[in-house]
Amino acid sequence: MRRGSLGAILLAVPLILLLVLPIVALLLRAPIAAPSGDALEAVWVSLRTSTLAAAAILLFGTPLALLLARRHLPAKGVLEVLVILPAVLPPAAAGLALLLALGRRGVFGEPLQGLGIALPFTASAVVLAQMYVAAPFFVRPLASAFRALPADLEEAALIDGAGASALFWRIALPLVRRPLIAALTLAWARALGEFGATALFAGSRVGVTQTLPLAVYLGFETDIDVAASLSLLLLAVAVAVIGATLLLQRREEA
């Protein structure tokens, strides 16, 4: 057993180093300075839009995960492909697809424009782009958690006269609370770090659509120290939120 563990450690070391070294380099090289006004605006835009995206994913992704967990669902394979696709599609291609669909001259954007609804290059476009790329990181794990629930629980609840609503709220949802929180945190983190789809579909207007990843990219074009400082700020925000979520989960498990 010990030999097996030693072998696993040795094989894991290269990947661990790959994960650790960039963070160490960023901590060592990034100058520590008070963030500028534009940087603070980017932080606020990132936190606001990623939180809204995560809330929308929770609202609409939970029932979708429940549907995917069902064994007999028409067109289940098509739905699963649609859910996975944003996770493997290049972000720039995702942004272009959103623009072609919902842009001012897009397939569906032009009719919306006629109704006075303009989505591209707005804060709403940022949220939609983040939702699109982050949804798979919530829906897939949650569907697996729903699928892992014992079937006899549902049968027993139905025998006792519990309706579908009571079955979901009182039995299924409490049992998947921990994987739900973990999946939601992962989706939020993905939304926070989104760059490509946001750049093409929402642009980079300071205080409106310029998120921290976009600010990092623009800073890199002019001053690498500015980009490093912004990257450090983005890292700090992500670590703080993810760390708080993990701490909350551990307290619940204790």
- List Cβ neighbours of 64 (8 Å cut-off, separation of 6 or more): 79, 83, 139, 143
Four-CA torsion 45, 48, 49, 51, nearest 10 degrees: 150
Site of tokens 């995560």: 54
DSSP 81: H
pLDDT digits (tens, 9 = 90+) for 60-103: 999 999 889 876 777 888 889 999 999 999 999 999 999 999 98
So what's the pLDDT on residue 253? 65
In the chain, % helix, strand, coil (3-state, to 5) comes to 80, 0, 20
pLDDT digits (tens, 9 = 90+) for 146-169: 988 877 766 666 666 666 677 777
Q: In degrees, to the nearest 5, what angle opens at C-alpha 98 toward C-alphas 50 and 88?
A: 75
From the options 1.20.120.430, 3.40.50.300, 1.10.3720.10, 1.20.120.80, give the CATH code of 36-253.
Answer: 1.10.3720.10
- Nearest Cα neighbor of 138 from 172, 79, 94, 180 is 180
> Hey, where are the domains in the chain?
36-253
